[in-house]
Chains A and B, each alone.
Chain A
Amino acid sequence: MIFTIAGRELRGLFLSPLAWSILAVVQLILAYMFLAQIDFFMQLQPRLPTLPGAPGITEIVVVPLFGNAAMILLLIVPLITMRLISDERRNQTLPLLFAAPISMSSIVLGKFVGVMTFLLIMLLMILMMPLTLLLGSSLDFGVLAAATLGLFLLLASFAAVGLFMSSLTAQPTIAAVSTFGVLLLLWILDWAGNNADGGNGSDVLAYLSILRHYEALLKGVFNSADVIYYLLFITVFLVLSIRRLDAERTQH
């Protein structure tokens, strides 16, 4: 049942030009950044062997690429998730799902899986760029795997927030703007931690920041605490979405 809804969601995305243009734009921008990074690496290359413990191509090209990808997708994901539920509410097609013998969690999970499949396609396309480096070089697969996992978890968190915001409103634009707002806020929570010198409150804020956990994974440090942070984050927003939809239907 989850996959039926996910399939419909994915299909709906690809039926509109939005998904295609998003894929194209993201790929274009990241490709440009990727090439610029390779250029930088080429300039650096002659000096690298002389340095002790010098960074490899993975650190110089791949890690910044994934860092930039996270930033760009922070802007893009709200546009993909904004229609998930709000569009159905606006077109009054939600009754179809509500009157069918499906549980609310299947509906929400179906939508989430659908949008995650799309983001996974995007992630694979991004991943393809570093993999082309294998033609003339070797990569640090550990770092690459950790960074990919990080980006995947980050995207899933974005999508979960987007899904929840979309369940709150009937206007896709409002869903997009508020998703973006929440994500950006979670992103820059880190600043408070960096600026203040050692207050307890700011430590907590910094720890809550969605960015900090990603940075660790990006460096190739796989800490299960970071992964659990993302899993918890995703679960919380999915449960909130289920509760939100259930509230329309059940007794309060």
Chain B
Amino acid sequence: MSMDSLITVENLYRYYGELCAVHDLCFEVRRGEVLGFLGPNGAGKSTTMRIIGGNLAPSAGRVLINGVDILDQPVLAKAELGFLPETPPLYRDLTVNEYLVYCARINRIPRSQQRAAIDSAKERCGLTEVGRRLIANLSKGYQQRVGIAQAIIHSPSVVLLDEPTVGLDPIQIREIRALIRDVANEHSVVLSTHILPEVQSVCDRVQIINRGRLVLNESIEQMREKLQATTLLIALRSMPSISELESVAGVASVELVEDGRVRIGYGAESDPSDAIVEQAVANGWGLHELTPERMTLEQVFVDITSSDAHAHGESGKHGGKGEAA
């Protein structure tokens, strides 16, 4: 296990005066994994990222990068680390090329390989065209790309990206996401964000943090299962009686929704869609809509973060969510 985990965070605490920003955080990131670090504003995401990135001291606990303690041997640990903080650390008075040369040097890339490293970082981040422009004159999207280029230039095994898509337009967001997916082919990535589709589209694993505590840690597959449909929404032209619907094989509950549709609840392993369609055709119900209802990550997120105080009772929450959808 520990052989393969590139980041190990053990019992991490961070206090800002009285305020406890990070409370007893423990997790691991394995090689080649994209970890989505989710949380509302002020949940402690950036604090955690800064601690892992070696920019901030934890009040207690330790962080291992590739098995090396970042407090004991910072230089060794940081060689395997690429960090894009919330605000990209850019020297606005330099051109993109000059900036990347500087980054290559401070990351101890051997002189003979610098050229190649810079070119490949530029190519991957789509910066080849703007190499000679001043960073100050670039658009926000391009500045963000320069920030990412800076984080991957020395091919670290771990890349930390703190809210990389904040403040970008939708097209830029798509481009940055594609870039993150590309980066993840070769590096392990920790991505902090409060934008949920981002996690669904790029991450292998999701962690939700709220008020400094880890409240959920699951792979995206587990998450998908959790988000599996357990209800169907159907619309019929000629409405049969409720009892008739209930008698269809697999249907567990029937409920009328305001706009004339019907919500059908069913058990986890018995999808009644086929049976409903057959019955509808046979009895001439005039079925013209059948939609499986899915929980979105957003609902899970809102659910977990808003009822953190009484965080137990998963099943009860699921039922509640079905109605809200």
Report the bound CA distance from A252 to B107 in whole Å: 27
**Inter-chain contact B55/A95, CB cutoff 8 Å:** yes
Question: Per a CB cutoff under 8 Å, which of A8, A92, A248, A252 touches B102?
Answer: A8
Main secondary structure of the interface of B (DSSP, over half): loop
Taking the nearest CB of chain B, how far is it from the CB of A114, in angstroms? 13
**Inter-chain contact A248/B103, CB cutoff 8 Å:** no
Given known contacts A15-B93, A16-B93, A92-B85, A97 and B57 CB-to-CB distance under 8 angstroms: no
Chain A window 33-61, contacts with chain B (Cβ cutoff 8 Å), 1 for yes, 0 for no? 00000000000000000000000000000
Does A228 have its Cβ within 8 Å of any Cβ on chain B?
Answer: no
**Inter-chain contact B93/A100, CB cutoff 8 Å:** no
**Inter-chain contact A249/B56, CB cutoff 8 Å:** yes
* Residue with the greatest number of chain B CB neighbours at <10 A, chosen from A8, A101, A102, A250: A101
Chain A contacts with B in 88-145, Cβ cutoff 8 A:
91-103
The closest CB in chain B to the CB of A98 belongs to B55
Interface bin, chain B: 20 to 34
Taking the nearest CB of chain B, how far is it from the CB of A185, in angstroms? 32
Does B145 have its Cβ within 8 Å of any Cβ on chain A?
Answer: no
**Inter-chain contact A4/B105, CB cutoff 8 Å:** yes
Report the bound CA distance from A100 to B102 in whole Å: 11
Taking the nearest CB of chain B, how far is it from the CB of A169, in angstroms? 18
Does A176 have its Cβ within 8 Å of any Cβ on chain B?
Answer: no
Does B180 have its Cβ within 8 Å of any Cβ on chain A?
Answer: no
**Inter-chain contact B93/A1, CB cutoff 8 Å:** no
Chain B contacts with A in 87-107, Cβ cutoff 8 A:
87, 89-94, 102-103, 105-107
Given known contacts A100-B107, A101-B108, A95 and B93 CB-to-CB distance under 8 angstroms: no
**Inter-chain contact A99/B83, CB cutoff 8 Å:** yes
Report the bound CA distance from A98 to B85 in whole Å: 11
Does A151 have its Cβ within 8 Å of any Cβ on chain B?
Answer: no
**Inter-chain contact A101/B91, CB cutoff 8 Å:** no
The closest CB in chain B to the CB of A103 belongs to B75
Q: Which residues of chain A have C-beta atoms less than 8 A from B150's C-beta?
A: 96
**Inter-chain contact A103/B74, CB cutoff 8 Å:** yes
Report the bound CA distance from A94 to B106 in whole Å: 13
Chain A window 241-252, contacts with chain B (Cβ cutoff 8 Å), 1 for yes, 0 for no? 000000011111
Chain A window 152-189, contacts with chain B (Cβ cutoff 8 Å), 1 for yes, 0 for no? 00000000000000000000000000000000000000
Does A201 have its Cβ within 8 Å of any Cβ on chain B?
Answer: no
Given known contacts A4-B105, A92-B85, A250-B71, A99 and B55 CB-to-CB distance under 8 angstroms: yes
Question: Per a CB cutoff under 8 Å, which of A97, A248, A249, A252 touches B106?
Answer: A97
Question: Per a CB cutoff under 8 Å, which of B55, B76, B87 touches A249?
Answer: B55
Question: Per a CB cutoff under 8 Å, which of B54, B76, B102 touches A99?
Answer: B54
Q: Which residues of chain B have C-beta atoms less than 8 A from A8's C-beta?
A: 91, 102
Report the bound CA distance from A97 to B87 in whole Å: 14
Does B81 have its Cβ within 8 Å of any Cβ on chain A?
Answer: yes
Taking the nearest CB of chain A, how far is it from the CB of B19, in angstroms? 17
The closest CB in chain B to the CB of A102 belongs to B106
Report the bound CA distance from A5 to B107 in whole Å: 12
Q: Which residues of chain B have C-beta atoms less than 8 A from A91's C-beta?
A: 89, 91-92
Q: Which residues of chain A have C-beta atoms less than 8 A from B106's C-beta?
A: 1, 4-5, 96-97, 100, 102
Q: Which residues of chain A have C-beta atoms less than 8 A from B90's C-beta?
A: 93
Chain B contacts with A in 39-94, Cβ cutoff 8 A:
50, 53-59, 71, 74-76, 78-79, 81-83, 85, 87, 89-94
Q: Which 9 pairs across A and B sit closest by C-beta, in order of nearness?
A: A96-B89, A99-B83, A93-B89, A101-B79, A101-B78, A92-B87, A4-B105, A100-B106, A95-B85
- For the complex with contacts A8-B102, A99-B53, A101-B75, 8 further pairs of A-B residues with Cβ separation under 8 Å are A12-B91, A16-B93, A94-B89, A99-B81, A100-B107, A101-B76, A101-B107, A251-B71
17 residue pairs bridging A and B, Cβ less than 8 Å apart: A1-B108, A4-B105, A15-B94, A16-B93, A92-B89, A93-B91, A94-B89, A95-B50, A95-B83, A98-B53, A99-B53, A101-B76, A101-B79, A248-B57, A249-B74, A251-B58, A251-B59
